[in-house]
Structure 1
C-alpha cells in the first residue's frame, strides 16, 4: 500500500479549500489533512478541524487563534493552533507535509506559497497573486528547488492538460502557436453599459456558472480575474503576451485551449466544478475520482465564443498592458485592485470606479525592477496606499 500523502490547505474555509477537503475525504486511503488555515472564520475552521483532525490549524491573528485554541481544548482535540504569517509559513514548509494547496486569496498567500516551493513540495497553485506579483522569482524558485507546480485555476489546469509534456523551451519550441484562455464574461457580459453605475456587490457576486468567494466573483465581473490569469499564464507556460488570446465562452464548458502549429486545437472540457482540477492536481500523474458529474454534451447543446469587449472590460486591457510593461507593474495592478474591490464590496465606491482607480495608481506610481521579495512587498504597500488615497478623493 502506498504512503498516505499529508496535505496542508492554505485558505481551507474558502471555496477552493472546501472543495479540496471534499476531494480529500473521498480518498482516505490516499490523503490526509496535515494543516488547515483560515483568515477570520473561526467557526468554519473549528468545524473543519473537528471533521479532519489535522496536526495544525492556523488563524491569521493571535486573538482568533486563542479563541480557536480554547474551543478545541474543550473537545479534547490534539490539533496545535498557530497564528500569523509565521504560522502559515511553518505549515507550508514543514518536512512532514507532502503537498500544499495554495488557496489564500490575495497577496497574503505569497510568502507561504513561496515557502512551500522553496521546500520542494508539490504545490497546487490556486493563488494567482503568487505569480502575478513575483512571477520571475517564483518560477526560478520552482526550478531551483525541484518543487512540483500544478496549476489549479480551471483555465490554467486546462492549458496544462493540453500542453506537451515539456514546454520549457517556450511555446514555439514545443510546437505550440497559441494559448486560448477562455472566460465566461461574468454576470455583466450583456448588461447595458449605462447600468454599470448602479451595479451592487450582490449583483457582481452572482456568477452565472461558478460558485466562488466574493472578491474573485467581483474580479470575474470586471474580467480582472481573466487579466490576472493572463499574466499568470505567461509565467506558468513560458509564453509571450502575444502568444495568448482571451476568448469569451459563456457556457464555461471549454476551460481553455492550446493551438498547435499544425492547426490542431486541443481543448479541456468538463462541467464548471473546481473539484475536477483539484483532483487532477492531487492525483497527478494518475486520475482520481472527483465527485463531479460527467459532462452531457447533448444537454449543453451549444458552445458560443466571442471576443472580449475592451469598453465593457477595461481591466483586461490594463492587465495585458501591465504584462508588456514588466517591472513592478503587475504588483501595482494587483494591489490597487484588491483595495478598490474591497471598497466596492463594503459599499464605499461604485463598480465603475474599479478600473478608474487602478489606472490612476498605475499612472502615478514609479515602477522599478522586481529584483527581490522586499522590493515587491514595498511596491505592493505603496500601491495600496495610493489606491486608498484616490478612493478618499472620490468620496469627497
Structure 2
C-alpha cells in the first residue's frame, strides 16, 4: 500500500535525504505534509517538486508569504503548525507514516499527538525519547503504533533483532565514529573552532548532531534511546569506537553469538528501511559495500575520562526522571552557544555537568513537567551566558 509521509524537519539533513528516498519511489510514497523551519527558498523548492497538502514553517510572516504563492495549500506556523503537520488527515486510504527529523525538544509534542492519532513513526529526533521515553513508549503500546528508528545505529540494532527473541539479548553494542576530534587529547581541544568541530570524518550531518558527535553526547543520547526502544538495562548497552563507520551496531546474545549490521556511511539506508519496513527495496544511486576492499576494521573501548558527556548520559539515564531532560536541554543550549561562538568547545560539557549536579529530580514526570524543566534550563543557560 502507498504511504502518506508526514515530514517534520524537511529542510534539514535527514529531511532532505528522506525527500531523496521519496523522489526515487513516488509510486510508494507521497509527501503529504511538510514542516520546515526558516529556509524558505528550500521550502519553495520542495513544494514545487512534491506538492504537499499541508505546509508549516517557523514564522508567521513566512507562512503568509507562502500562502500567497500557494493558495491551494493549507499553511500554518509555529508549534501549532508542527502539530498539524504530524496529525493532518489526508483524504485517502494510504498508510500514514510520520518522519520526525526536527532537531531538539521541539519534536516532543508533535510526536505525542501523532501517536495519539494512531500514526506510525519513523524517528530521527533523539531528544523525544531521551526526555520522555517513558511517555512515548507507553503511548505507542496503548495506540498500537510502530516506532521505526532512523538513526543508523538504532536501525542496525533493529535489523539485528529482527526475528530474534529479545529475552535472549545479552548486550547491545553501539558503535561510534569518534567525531571530529577523536584523535585529539583533551589538552588539544582547548580553543578548537566551530569550523573544526563541524568537520566530521565520515558522515554528512546537521550542525547540532555533528557537535554532539564531537563531544560524544550523541552516543550518550543513543544509549538512552536504545534503553527505551529495546527495553534493555543500561548496564547491558555498550559503546565502542569504530573509526570506519562500517559496522553500525551489534547485538550479542546469551549464547555469545554476535549479529552485526554493516553498510556504507549513507543515511538514506536507514531512512529507506524505516519507510519501506517490513519490506526491503532497492536503494537508487547507492554504493555497495565491497567487504573485500576494506582490509580491516578497528574497534576500541571508549574512555569516559576523554568523553565525559558519554558518562553523563549513562548516569542520567540510570537516575531517570527529569535528569535526562536536563541532560538534553543543557546540551542543546550549550551547543547553540558554541555554534554562535559565545563559549568554547570544552564549556559545553562544563555547562551540562553543572546543570545535572544542581537539579532536583522529578522521578515520574508528566509531559508538562518535562516541558517546564526543558524551558527553565534553556532560559537559565541563555541568561547566564549574556551576563
Pick the TM interval, shorter chain: over 0.9
Superposition deviation, residue 390 in structure 1: 4.4
- Cα distance between partner residues in 1 of 2:382 and 2:357: 15
Instruction: Give the C-alpha shift of residue 20 in structure 1.
Output: 0.5
Kindly indicate whether the alpha-carbon contact (under 8 Å) linking 1:120 and 1:148 is maintained by their aligned counterparts in 2.
no
From 365, 368, 384, the counterpart of 2:362: 368
State the Cα deviation string for residues 318-361 of structure 1 (Å, max 9, x = none): 00110111110000010000001000000000000000001111
SS at match of 2:17: helix
Shift of the alpha carbon at 1:288?
1.2
Q: Which residue of 1 aligns with 2:250?
A: 257
Of residues 267, 276, 287, the one that matches 2:269 is: 276
| 1:86 alignment partner in structure 2 | 80
Counterpart in 2 of 1:354? Answer: 348
Write out per-residue CA displacement over residues 113-136 of structure 1, whole angstroms, 9 at most, x where no aligned residue: 111111111200100011001000
Verify the 8 A CA contact 1:93 1:115 in the aligned structure 2.
yes
Give the CA deviation at 1:163.
1.1
Match of 1:181 in 2: 174
- TM-score, with length taken from structure 2: 0.96
Q: TM-score, normalised by structure 1?
A: 0.94
CA-CA distance at 1:166 after TM superposition = 6.6
Deviation at 1:249, TM superposition (A): 0.3
Distance 1:324 1:115 in 2: 27
Question: Counterpart in 2 of 1:237?
Answer: 230
Q: Distance in 2 between matches of 1:315 and 1:389?
A: 23
Residue of 111, 114, 124 corresponding to 2:112: 114
Q: Does structure 1 residue 331 correspond to structure 2 residue 325?
A: yes
Instruction: Name the counterpart of 2:60.
Output: 62
* Structure 1: gaps spanning 5 or more residues: none
How far 1:162 moved relative to its partner? 0.6
**Cα shift at 1:392:** 4.3
Aligned residues: 382
Q: Is contact 1:340-1:391 (8 Å) kept?
A: no
- How do 1:219-234 residues align onto structure 2 when only pairs under 5 Å count? 219-234=212-227
Q: Which aligned pairs between 1:149-160 and structure 2 lie closer than 5 A?
A: 149-160=147-158
Matched, 1:135 2:128: no
Q: Deviations over 1:77-113 (max 9, x none)?
A: x322211111111121223371111100000111111
Secondary structure at the residue paired with 1:147? coil
Contact 1:357 1:390 in 2 (8 A): no
- 1:96-107 correspondence runs (5 A): 96=90, 98-107=96-105
Report SS of the residue matched to 2:180: helix
CA shift digits 1:265-288 (9 cap, x unpaired): 000000011110111111111101
Task: Single out whichever of 346-355 and 192-201 deviates more from structure 2.
Answer: 192-201
Q: Which residue in 2 is equivalent to 1:316?
A: 310
- Partner of residue 191, structure 1: 184
3-state SS of 1:198 partner: coil
Which whole-Å CA distance do the structure 2 matches of 1:289 and 1:117 have between them? 29
**What secondary structure, in the 3-state scheme, does the structure 2 residue paired with 1:98 have?**
strand
- The residue matched to 1:140 in structure 2 has which SS? helix
- Find the counterpart in structure 1 of residue 376 from structure 2: 382
* Gap runs ≥5 in structure 2: none
The residue that corresponds to 2:339 in the other structure is 345
Structure 1 distance, partners of 2:365, 2:331, is: 22
Please give the alpha-carbon distance, in whole angstroms, between the structure 2 residues aligned to 1:289 and 1:348.
45
Aligned mates of 1:279, 1:98 — CA distance in 2: 15
Matched, 1:211 2:209: no
Aligned mates of 2:216, 2:154 — CA distance in 1: 16
SS at match of 1:188: coil
Moved more, 268-277 or 87-96: 87-96
Q: Is the 8 A contact 2:33 2:88 kept in 1?
A: no
Instruction: After superposing the two structures, state which structure 1 stretch, 81-90 or 42-51, moved more.
Output: 81-90
Deviation string 1:57-91 (CA, Å, 9 cap, x unpaired) is 11022122112223335xxxx32221111111112
Q: Residues 365 and 320 from structure 1, CA distance in 2 versus in 1: closer, same or farther, beyond 3 angstroms?
A: same
Counterpart Cα distance in 1 of 2:188 and 2:7: 39
In the alignment, the residues of structure 1 paired with residue 379 and residue 85 of structure 2 have an alpha-carbon distance, to the nearest angstrom, of 30
Of 283-292 and 10-19, more deviation after overlay is shown by 283-292
Check conservation: 2:338, 2:345, Cα contact below 8 A. yes
- Counterpart secondary structure, 1:318: helix
